[in-house]
C-alpha cells in the first residue's frame, strides 16, 4: 500500500464508515468523507479533529454532502473534489462503503427502493472505480465493502445479495486485471455486526455481534495486506468456505430458512 495520501470513503457517517474514517485518520490518511447528511458529516469531522488534536497531530479533511443514489452522483463528487482542492491522482485509498438493503418478498419491495439499492451497491461502486482508477498510482488500494451475502443466493433479500455478489466479482476481477500495474483491490466480506443496517433493512440482528470498530480494524488490516478477498468474522469465514461448496438448491433452502427466522 502506498504512503498515506487521500482516503476517500463513501457512506462515511454509517457505523462502519465512521469507524473507518477514524482509523484512516489515525493511520495518517487525509480524508474525503462522503455521505448524504451534512449534520452527521460535520459531527464526524469534529470528532476526528478532536481526537487528532489530543494526539498532537492533524489531517486534512474534506466533506462532500451527496446522495450517491442520484444519477450523475459521481460527476458531482468529482467536481466537489476539484472545488476543494483534492487531486484525484493523490487518492491512495478508495473505500466503497455506501450501501443499502431491504428484507422482504421481492414483489412487495418498492421500485424506488430496488433502484436505490442497485444504484448504491452496484452502479456507484462501478462508476467510482471507473472514474478514479486511471489516476491512481502504483501502490494504491481500492477497498470495496461487500458482504458474506456475496457467497450465496439470498431469498427475501434477493436484490441485496445479488448486488454484493456483483461487488465481489467485480473487485476480484479487477484485482487480477490490475495486479501488474500495482493497484490492489480488496473485497471485504463481513458477516453481521452492530450497525443501523439491520433496522434499516427491516430484520432482526439476533445474538452478540462484533462492533463496527472491530470490523473496521479488520478492514484496515486487510487493506494493509492487500488480500483480494477477506471474510471478516468467524461465521463469515465458515460461510465463505462452505457456502459455495453446498449444492445450489441446499444453499437456497438454508438461506431462505435463515431469512424467515430473521423477519
Residue with cell 445479488: 162
- Confidence (pLDDT) at 2: 53
- Confidence (pLDDT) at 210: 86
Active-site residue set: 160
pTM of this prediction?
Answer: 0.90
Integer Cα distance of 2 and 183 in angstroms: 9
Q: Which domains does the chain carry?
A: 6-261 (3.40.50.720)
Integer Cα distance of 247 and 254 in angstroms: 11
Integer Cα distance of 189 and 168 in angstroms: 8
Q: How many DSSP H helices and E strands does the chain contain?
A: 10, 7
Integer Cα distance of 188 and 95 in angstroms: 10
Buried/exposed code over 105-143 (b: 16+ C-beta within 10 A; e: otherwise) = eeeebeeeeeebbbbbbbbbbebbbeebbeebeeebbbb
Dump pLDDT digits (tens) for 138-168. Answer: 999 999 999 999 998 899 999 999 999 999 9
- Confidence (pLDDT) at 1: 53
| Other beta carbons less than 10 A from residue 250's beta carbon | 12
Residues of the chain with pLDDT under 50: 198-202
Amino acid at each position: 500500500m502506498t504512503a498515506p495520501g487521500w482516503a476517500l470513503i463513501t457512506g462515511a457517517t454509517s457505523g462502519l464508515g465512521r469507524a473507518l474514517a477514524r482509523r484512516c485518520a489515525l493511520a495518517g490518511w487525509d480524508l474525503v468523507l462522503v455521505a448524504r447528511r451534512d449534520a452527521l458529516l460535520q459531527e464526524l469531522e469534529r470528532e476526528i479533529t478532536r481526537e487528532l488534536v489530543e494526539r498532537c497531530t492533524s489531517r486534512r479533511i474534506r466533506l462532500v454532502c451527496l446522495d450517491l443514489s442520484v444519477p450523475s452522483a459521481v460527476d458531482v463528487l468529482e467536481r466537489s473534489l476539484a472545488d476543494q482542492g483534492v487531486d484525484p491522482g493523490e487518492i491512495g485509498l478508495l473505500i466503497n462503503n455506501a450501501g443499502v438493503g431491504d428484507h422482504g418478498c421481492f414483489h412487495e419491495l418498492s421500485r424506488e427502493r430496488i433502484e436505490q439499492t442497485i444504484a448504491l451497491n452496484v452502479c456507484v461502486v462501478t462508476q467510482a472505480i471507473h472514474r478514479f482508477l486511471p489516476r491512481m498510482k502504483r501502490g494504491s488500494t481500492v477497498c470495496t465493502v461487500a458482504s458474506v451475502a456475496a457467497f450465496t443466493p439470498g431469498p427475501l433479500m434477493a436484490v441485496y445479495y445479488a448486488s454484493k455478489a456483483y461487488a465481489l466479482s467485480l473487485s476480484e476481477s479487477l484485482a487480477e486485471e490490475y495486479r501488474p500495474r500495482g493497484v490492489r483491490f480488496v473485497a471485504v466480506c463481513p458477516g453481521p455486526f452492530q450497525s443501523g443496517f439491520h433496522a434499516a433493512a427491516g430484520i432482526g440482528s439476533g445474538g452478540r455481534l462484533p462492533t463496527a470498530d472491530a470490523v473496521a480494524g479488520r478492514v484496515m488490516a486487510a487493506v494493509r495486506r492487500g488480500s483480494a478477498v477477506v471474510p471478516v468474522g468467524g461465521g463469515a469465514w465458515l460461510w465463505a468456505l462452505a457456502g459455495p461448496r453446498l449444492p445450489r438448491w441446499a444453499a437456497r433452502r438454508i438461506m431462505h430458512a435463515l431469512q424467515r427466522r430473521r423477519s
